[in-house]
């Protein structure tokens, strides 16, 4: 075990033992990247939130508070382009199994290339054609095809699951500001 992994395990155990955080659904085997706040974690989180609100909202004449819903009308995300293009191009190194973003690998080795203008197929071909793009972990040039990692969390509202009930958990908080701008202005 690497020193950094050992240190992280020690920090997690300390936080669990002191009641700051617990792995989500732990009695059922847990859920990756899911954490529940314990008694001290709730207090800590609320203190940080209060300090932030005081400094950046209450003490500022230019900012006001807004807490938008976590589920918004799906048209919000269609209009902003999130539904059609809010995804990351992921690929795996076949040699060491490390996962990487294809756009980052290309951009780091070839900063002159406009990766944002490339389709996933174009990125795949570019990586295949450029042996100098290697896995940062093991140094090999042996990648799986790019897969689309969708960053939108789809759910349904209502008693039936059909296209009329489809909605998304907000992938970012900024849209709440835009859809409520006229309300705040009044």
Dihedral sign computed on CA atoms, order 131, 85, 176, 24: negative
145 and 156 in a single domain? The answer is no
Local structure of 127: helix, strand or coil: helix
135 and 155 in a single domain? The answer is no
Residue at 105 is within a domain: yes
Tell me the average pLDDT across 57-66: 94
Residue at 64 is within a domain: no
For residue 104, the domain's CATH number is: 3.30.40.230
Residue at 106 is within a domain: yes
Residue at 65 is within a domain: no
169 and 139 in a single domain? The answer is no
155 and 75 in a single domain? The answer is yes
> Where does the pLDDT of residue 151 fall: very low under 50, low under 70, confident under 90, or very high at 90 and above?
confident
Residue at 35 is within a domain: yes
Instruction: Tell me how many domains the chain contains.
Output: 3
Tell me the average pLDDT across 109-128: 94
Give the distance, in angstroms, between the CA of residue 70 and the centroid of all CA atoms in the same chain.
15
- Quick check: 1 pLDDT over 70? no
**Encoded tokens for 96:** 């060491």
167 and 77 in a single domain? The answer is yes
164 and 76 in a single domain? The answer is yes
Lowest mean pLDDT among 98-112, 131-145, 152-166: 152-166
pLDDT at position 172, please? Answer: 84
Task: Please give the share of the chain, as a percent, with pLDDT higher than 90.
Answer: 68
Residue at 102 is within a domain: yes
Q: Answer yes or no: are the C-beta atoms of 133 and 105 closer than 8 Å.
A: yes
Q: Answer yes or no: are the C-beta atoms of 150 and 43 closer than 8 Å.
A: no
Tell me the average pLDDT across 55-66: 94
76 and 156 in a single domain? The answer is yes
Give the distance, in angstroms, between the CA of residue 41 and the centroid of all CA atoms in the same chain.
22
Q: Answer yes or no: are the C-beta atoms of 41 and 48 closer than 8 Å.
A: no
Tell me the average pLDDT across 163-185: 88
Tell me the average pLDDT across 32-46: 95
20 and 48 in a single domain? The answer is yes
Residue 97 lies in domain: 88-150
Residue at 66 is within a domain: no
Q: Answer yes or no: are the C-beta atoms of 135 and 100 closer than 8 Å.
A: yes
Residue at 136 is within a domain: yes
């Amino acid at each position: 075990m690497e020193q950094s992994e050992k240190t992280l395990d020690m920090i997690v155990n300390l936080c669990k033992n002191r009641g700051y955080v617990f792995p989500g659904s732990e009695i059922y085997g847990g859920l990756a990247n899911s954490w529940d706040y314990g008694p001290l974690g709730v207090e800590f989180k609320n203190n940080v939130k209060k300090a932030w609100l005081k400094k950046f909202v209450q003490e500022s004449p230019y900012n006001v508070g807004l807490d938008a819903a976590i589920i918004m009308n799906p048209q919000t995300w269609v209009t902003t382009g999130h539904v059609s293009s809010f995804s990351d191009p992921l690929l795996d190194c076949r040699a060491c199994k490390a996962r990487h973003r294809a756009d980052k690998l290309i951009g780091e080795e070839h900063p002159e290339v406009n990766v944002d203008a490339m389709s996933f197929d174009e990125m795949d071909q570019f990586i295949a054609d450029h042996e100098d793009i290697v896995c940062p972990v093991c140094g090999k040039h042996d990648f799986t095809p790019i897969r689309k990692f969708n960053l939108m969390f789809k759910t349904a509202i209502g008693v039936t699951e059909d296209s009329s009930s489809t909605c998304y958990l907000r992938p970012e908080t900024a849209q709440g500001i835009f859809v409520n701008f006229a309300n705040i202005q009044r």
